[in-house]
């Protein structure tokens, strides 16, 4: 579970652990938060360990898969939630920031998906995180949406490249979700307006997204090569 110490990652890790899945909780720098997730999973009788690394670094991510194989005997599911979301209009975004977004969100997905495709056991699942912003096309999200649009394309192609391997590859595309990443830089008035605009008249929660991730990680063996929008009908 890359990004397992973050909002969606944390809840999804707990949801998978509750279904008797052993979880490696990945973090980029927040070791304390990852340890908290591991402690909470173990307190409920689940199995989990924490491990760090840069998702865009193939050596560090290979070591992450090594941890899973050493601790739990192999890897069956990759859930890739790690990502960053600096916002600015395209005309104003600093190119160094643009490069950082693409490195983490796009290269990071390529690196971990490539390793998963090589190392997952038959019957496994690769689950990437995209965003409903690719449909909503909200101003200010150009660089982020570009990275996630590429993630979606890569997901669909990888699903077809893995023909005969008994591996599913899908992407989950949440809408506005109550995480720290979403709330950052938004006024209460804007948050209320975004929630009110949804047909369900609320924001999504990490639990909403975790249910879809658990479905794809477990019983959804006939769902493959899809982008599933978990957004209350926002678009």
* pLDDT tens-digit readout, 10-52: 999 999 999 999 999 999 987 899 999 999 999 999 999 999 9
Quick one: pLDDT at residue 184? Answer: 83
- H or E element, residue 30: none
In a domain, 68, yes or no: yes
What's the gap between Cα 76 and its chain centre? 16
When pLDDT is averaged across residues 175-184 and rounded to a whole number, the result is 88
Integer Rg of the chain from CA: 17
In a domain, 29, yes or no: yes
Q: What percent of the chain lies above the pLDDT cut of 90?
A: 92
> For residue 35, what is the domain's CATH number?
3.40.50.720
Tally of residues, the chain: 235
In a domain, 33, yes or no: yes
Q: Are 48 and 16 in contact (CB under 8 A)?
A: no
Please, what's the b/e burial string for 125-138 (b: 16 or more CB within 10 A of its CB; e: otherwise)?
A: bbbbbbbbbbbbee
In a domain, 110, yes or no: yes
Indicate the burial class of 80 (C-beta count within 10 angstroms; 0-12, 13-18, 19 or more): buried
Quick one: pLDDT at residue 111? Answer: 98
At 105, the pLDDT band (50, 70, 90 cuts) reads very high
In a domain, 38, yes or no: yes
At 181, the pLDDT band (50, 70, 90 cuts) reads confident
Matching residue, tokens 């699903």: 159
What's the whole-model pTM score?
Answer: 0.95
The domain total for the chain is 1
In a domain, 101, yes or no: yes
At 180, the pLDDT band (50, 70, 90 cuts) reads confident
Alpha helices in the chain (DSSP H): 7-18, 31-43, 58-72, 95-101, 108-119, 133-136, 142-161, 180-183, 188-197, 206-217
- Whether the per-residue pLDDT at 98 is higher than 90: the answer is yes
In a domain, 1, yes or no: no
Quick one: pLDDT at residue 164? Answer: 97
Q: Are 209 and 198 in contact (CB under 8 A)?
A: no
What angle is formed at CA 30 by the lines to CA 26 and CA 36, rounded to 5 degrees?
75
In a domain, 2, yes or no: no
The catalytic residues are 144
- Whether the per-residue pLDDT at 186 is higher than 90: the answer is no
Residue 123: give the domain boundaries.
Answer: 7-229
- Whether the per-residue pLDDT at 194 is higher than 80: the answer is yes
């Amino acid at each position: 579970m890359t990004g397992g110490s973050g909002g969606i990652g944390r809840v999804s890790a707990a949801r998978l652990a509750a279904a008797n899945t052993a979880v490696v909780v990945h973090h980029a720098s927040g070791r304390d938060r990852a340890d908290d997730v591991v402690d909470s999973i173990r307190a409920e009788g689940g199995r989990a360990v924490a491990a760090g690394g840069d998702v865009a670094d193939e050596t560090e991510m290979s070591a992450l898969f090594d941890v899973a194989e050493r601790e739990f005997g192999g890897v069956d599911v990759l859930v890739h939630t790690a990502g960053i979301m600096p916002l600015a209009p395209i005309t104003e975004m600093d190119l160094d920031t643009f490069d950082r977004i693409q490195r983490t969100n796009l290269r990071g997905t390529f690196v971990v998906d490539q390793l998963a495709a090589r190392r997952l056991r038959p019957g496994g699942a690769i689950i990437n995180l995209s965003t409903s912003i690719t449909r909503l096309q909200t101003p200010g999200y150009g660089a982020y949406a570009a990275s996630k649009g590429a993630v979606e394309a890569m997901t669909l192609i990888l699903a077809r490249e893995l023909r005969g391997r008994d591996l599913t590859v899908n992407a989950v595309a949440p809408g506005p979700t109550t995480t720290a990443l979403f709330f950052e830089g938004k006024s209460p008035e804007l948050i209320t307006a975004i929630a009110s605009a949804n047909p369900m008249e609320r924001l999504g929660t990490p639990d909403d997204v975790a249910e879809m991730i658990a479905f794809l990680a477990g019983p959804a063996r006939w769902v493959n090569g899809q982008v599933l929008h978990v957004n209350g009908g926002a678009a």
